[in-house]
Amino acid sequence: MVAGGFDYLIKTRVVDMNTYRAFASTVLWQLPGMRETRTYAVMEEVKTPPNLLAPTGN
């Protein structure tokens, strides 16, 4: 459940901020009706769920 100033919460996992920026500009900001986004970067995580591993590009 999302409450407050958000309509949607999308969790993404990328290898670096340049990759995120490319995702945001080519996917998120191209969506119809997209007016603004807010990005919160996690600097360190306590636990890594096994189903959320970022692809390594190999």
Higher pLDDT, 40 or 46: 40
**pLDDT tens string 7-34:** 788 888 888 999 999 999 999 999 998 8
If pLDDT is split at 50, 70 and 90, which confidence band does 3 have? Answer: low
Instruction: From residue 24, give the alpha-carbon distance in Å to each of 34, 43, 50, 55.
Output: 11, 19, 24, 17
Cα–Cα distance, 13 to 42 (Å, whole number) = 10
What residue ranges do the domains of the chain occupy?
A: 1-42
Instruction: From residue 12, give the alpha-carbon distance in Å to each of 18, 41, 43, 46.
Output: 13, 10, 14, 16
Question: For residue 52, what pLDDT is reported?
Answer: 60
